[in-house]
Amino acid sequence: MFRGMDKEGTGKLTYAEFRDSFRTLSYGLNDNDINMLIALADEDHDELISWEEFIPIGIEAICT
């Protein structure tokens, strides 16, 4: 899932990659929901979401 979202192959997701991917996954999330996920995921506030930061969000997305 993460690798498919990482269009640039950097090992980190930009906010745009994250946002675009979650919009197309059809989880019924609106932009506010996605922005909240971004804020929760980006623990180091570097405007990138690493694999380690993504794991809790990805697990939640898959399990719901």
Region 49-53: mean pLDDT is 95
Q: What was the pLDDT predicted at 19? A: 92
- Distances from the Cα of 11 to the Cα of 5, 14, 35, angstroms: 10, 10, 20
What pTM, to 2 d.p., does this model score?
0.82
Per-chain mean pLDDT for the chain: 88
Looking at the chain, how many residues does it have?
64
Region 31-48: mean pLDDT is 93
Residue 18 has pLDDT above 70, yes or no: yes
Residue 38 has pLDDT above 90, yes or no: yes
Residue 33 has pLDDT above 70, yes or no: yes
Q: What was the pLDDT predicted at 27? A: 73
CA triple 63-30-19, angle to 5 deg? 75
* CA–CA separation, 36 and 55 (whole Å): 16
